[in-house]
Amino acid sequence: MTAFSLEPAQLAWCAELRALAAERLRPLAEKGEAGRVNRALVAELGRLGLVGRLFGAGALDLCLMRESLAQACTEAETALALQGLGAHPVHAHGTATQRARWLPGVTDGTAVAAFALTEPGAGSDAAALALTAHPDGPGRWRLSGEKCWISNAPEADFYTVFARTTPGAGARGVTAFLLPADRPGLTGHGLDMLSPHPIGALGLDGVPVTADDVLGEVDRGFRVAMGTLNLFRPSVGAFAVGMAQAALDATLDHTARRDAFGGKLRDLQAVSHQVAEMALRTEAARLMVYAAATAYDAGDPDVPRRSAMAKLLATETAQYVVDTAVQLHGARALRRGHLLEHLYREVRAPRVYEGASEVQRGIIAKELYARQEAR
């Protein structure tokens, strides 16, 4: 794996993003309503040009944005990522008409996007989708079924929805549709989650769609989904690295100031070694994320393996680092409103969404054996 380091301009940009997140985005995040889309925050991301950059930048830029924002404001990071995740299929696979209709609003923060893949019975096994597109004449279907744990639902302005167009065909029978939120038969409700993000369920009762709503090709929607996830998986790792770094920074500050047993907490070898381990794992995860993103931008053939490795290592690392930070802070870290109390709730979900850790291990093993057989 190629050694990696950032250029001075990239480092300066990351510092600028952290400052913007602290000064302009975090105040808006704090004013938002728990569990609801924060449209003021999304609009500010648009005004700052960050949403637009998602579509012109590569995977490494996406990772740098997500890591930097996460260090200062996880809500801003997540709002940005969800705009990208929901709208990337339109950017990459949409027609000129679809892109012209929706991408300007996404870019300036006035249109909220959502990626609707997961179902009550098809989460990690995305090929088991049951939401069905029933034929309704030439180039017409009606969508019936459920989607669940969909970020920005039910408040998004449009959804990238994946539905089964060919029964019994597994991954080969799925089609991606661009579904405006005002279509008849589409309903939804919010879900109360551990970390209060805008996440909901959707019900589709004969929702009409036509060939003009297809993203990519009929029965080739699984490629749309996996192409999107291969781009965003390393950046989920970047989000995790940003949270880990925030927890590490807080721990360094706390252990340097906290009086304990006649000295400072950092003077205890057990503590200093834990801090060293936190830093070691965070940096290792960061380098793997950057390497995976660089491989994606270079068009390397082993992107699925590297993306899975980066997402797996970084999210598991962040869980460890945040948990250790809480332990070293003691009870104060469990108080509502403390940074680590916030991170402790935030850090759990990335090990599940966009492919759980177990799924990532399966992808890694599959890719390794495929390479062995090809020799």
Active site residues: 354
- Is residue 244 within 8 A of residue 318, CB to CB? The reply is yes
- Return the exposure string of 250-270: e unless at least 16 CB atoms fall within 10 Å of the residue's CB, then b: bbeebbeebeeeeeebbeeee
Environment class of residue 155 by beta-carbon count within 10 Å: exposed (0-12), middle (13-18) or buried (19+)? middle
Give the phi and the psi of residue 186 in degrees, each rounded to 5: -95, 120
Measured N-to-C along each axis, helices 74-93 and 339-346 cross at an angle, to the nearest 10 degrees, of 30
- Return the exposure string of 163-192: e unless at least 16 CB atoms fall within 10 Å of the residue's CB, then b: bbbeeeeebebbbbbbbebebeebebebbe
- Is residue 174 within 8 A of residue 165, CB to CB? The reply is yes
